[in-house]
A and B are shown apart, each in its own frame.
Chain A
Amino acid sequence: QKEVEQNSGPLSVPEGAIASLNCTYSDRGSQSFFWYRQYSGKSPELIMSIYSNGDKEDGRFTAQLNKASQYVSLLIRDSQPSDSATYLCAVEGSSNTGKLIFGQGTTLQVKP
């Protein structure tokens, strides 16, 4: 069974700090990697996509991918209380079906 692993948290950071969220995956042939944010009672919202090794920045968010280590991370700079949510890592595997495998999510708490 292909898996995506995340630490469930909660990860607690003070306002203005950098939050670091991590994800590992088991399918070495995975091609596409996504981070979703989900507020309580709401649906997942895409915040980052990454396809190549290295860093990808979008505003306060940076996604990092290391395919050799099968590791993807999300950094949130200048964390705000509004960033408090569950962050889901999703990986599209090598089966060419379009299916995503989701991690269980990491709950982030940003304290004012």
Chain B
Amino acid sequence: DVKVTQSSRYLVKRTGEKVFLECVQDMDHENMFWYRQDPGLGLRLIYFSYDVKMKEKGDIPEGYSVSREKKERFSLILESASTNQTSMYLCAATRQLYQPQHFGDGTRLSIL
């Protein structure tokens, strides 16, 4: 089975901090995704990546950046955290197009 691991289940940070969320997958999957999920707004795509050092903007990239230096690791960076970035963050991976995405356990991030 696919294993997608997110580094933290819960995280509390302060406004203005630079925040790193890490995601690692163990199945040599090409494609990785970062979402945030908020009540009433559903899952929204922030960024995704097809390969090492490649990245594409999703629907809500503002205030975020990503890094993919190795195939198995995809990091989401909040450059200067703000309270409106308090959310559940979900990482997903898929081997190729038209295959299902598999999610990590999620990181519930609170910005105070």
Contact = CB atoms under 8 A, between A and B. Distances in A.
Interface of A: 31-32, 34, 42-46, 49, 51, 88, 90, 92, 96-100, 102-105
A99 B45 contact: yes
25 contacts: A31-B98, A32-B98, A32-B99, A34-B100, A34-B101, A43-B103, A43-B105, A44-B43, A44-B103, A45-B103, A46-B100, A46-B102, A49-B100, A88-B43, A92-B98, A97-B56, A97-B97, A98-B48, A98-B94, A98-B98, A99-B33, A99-B48, A103-B42, A104-B40, A105-B42
B102 A96 contact: no
A38 to B, nearest CB: 9
A43 B100 contact: no
Contacts of A100: 101
Given A98-B31, A98-B48, A99-B48, A44 B42 contact: no
Contacts of B61: none
Contacts of A102: 42-43
Interface of B: 31, 33, 40, 42-43, 45, 48, 50, 56, 58, 90, 94, 96-106
Given A32-B98, A43-B106, A49-B100, A98 B42 contact: no
Nearest to A44: B103
Contacts of B90: 43-44
Contact of B98 (A45, A46, A51, A104): A51
B22 to A, nearest CB: 15
Nearest to A103: B42
A98 B50 CA distance: 9
Contacts of B48: 97-99
A42 B105 contact: yes
A104 B42 contact: yes
A79 B74 CA distance: 38
Contacts of B101: 34, 46, 90, 100
B100 A96 contact: no
A22 to B, nearest CB: 16
A34 B19 CA distance: 32
